[in-house]
Amino acid sequence: RPETEFLVTWATERLSQRAQRSICVDVGTGCGAVVVALAHRLGPAWDGLLIGSDISRPALEVARANRDRLAPRRVELICGDLLDWCRGPLDLITANLPYLRPDQAHSGLAFEPPQALYAGEDGFALYRRLLRQAAALLRPDGGIICEIDPDQRQLARETAQALFPAARIQVLPDLSGLDRYLTIELAENTRTTESTGDETGACPASGTAEPETDTAKGATR
């Protein structure tokens, strides 16, 4: 998808500029398209850690097959609810989570599982949770890019500004000119409204790197 292409390009540019061994998590990775594309773009010389996480075990089975075929030994996969499994710190978070409202349902979506499409009455419930988690897990110079519904641009900006008051926050357009991406870039002196992650910790905190042996936590995505 063209929308995913921009997300991958933005994340690749940010990760390739980082000196230390970075950790990037693609939340709601689904079939693994984003995290596998990142592994391909960054190349074997990049020494960071790429993690794809999802609450859906069947989706992660597809992601594992794609990972094994296209980026073996370069991507870890974890079954879990958003970032509940992670203690950080993280350098970058990418996400393309369900963001539709119930009133946006139409016949073309009839064969899609509802949990892959809808996120509460305003469509922003999952991102609201994710951004709160991210505020406690990102490094002081970390970043986030999320694909959103264009109708959520103001809600997304206001939510991000409340949690990351000193960050550079943008809502960027897709190729059609629609406001499609929320980006949050922290500076070294940024302080969020949540406690920061444990700098001595490692991500993940719980769960395993293979979907067939891990157990997702109980919250519904």
Q: Which residues of the chain have pLDDT under 50?
A: 105-106, 109-110, 117-120, 189, 191, 195-201, 206-209, 211-221
Cβ(97)–Cβ(30) below 8 Å: no
Are 182 and 160 contacting, i.e. CB atoms less than 8 angstroms apart? yes
Question: d(Cα 171, Cα 47) in Å, to the nearest integer?
Answer: 30
Distances (CA, A) of 55 to 42, 48, 58, 108, 147: 26, 23, 9, 24, 18
For residue 108, what pLDDT is reported?
A: 54
**Containing H/E element for 103?**
none
Strands 179-185 and 168-173, sheet pairing: antiparallel
Strands (E) located in 2-137: 23-27, 49-54, 75-79, 90-95
CA 92 to chain centre: 8
Q: Please report, for the chain, the start and end positions of each structural domain, with discontinuous segments joined by +.
A: 2-185
Q: What is the pLDDT of residue 4?
A: 84
pLDDT at 109: 46
Residue 189 CB neighbours (<10 A): 8
- Tell me the fold of 2-185: Rossmann fold (3.40.50)
Sheet holding 49-54, edge to edge: 75-79, 49-54, 23-27, 90-95, 138-147, 179-185, 168-173
Q: How far apart are CA 196 and CA 139, in angstroms?
A: 7
Q: Identify the pLDDT of residue 180.
A: 92
- The CB-based long-range contact list for 168-172 (8 Å cut-off, 24+ gap) reads 172/6
Cα–Cα distance for residue pair 48/28, rounded to 1 Å: 20
Query: What does the pLDDT look like over 147-184, one tens digit per residue?
Result: 998 998 999 999 999 999 999 999 999 988 999 999 99
What's the pLDDT at 118?
Answer: 43
d(CA 167, CA 59): 33
Write the single-letter amino acid at 21: R
Which DSSP string do the residues of 180-219 spell out, in sequence order? EEEEEE--TT---SSPPP-TT--S-SSS-SSTTT----S-
Hey, what are 45's tokens? Answer: 């010389």
**Three-class SS state of 23:** strand
Q: What pLDDT does residue 42 have?
A: 94
Q: What is the CA radius of gyration of the chain?
A: 16
Return the pLDDT at 167.
Answer: 97
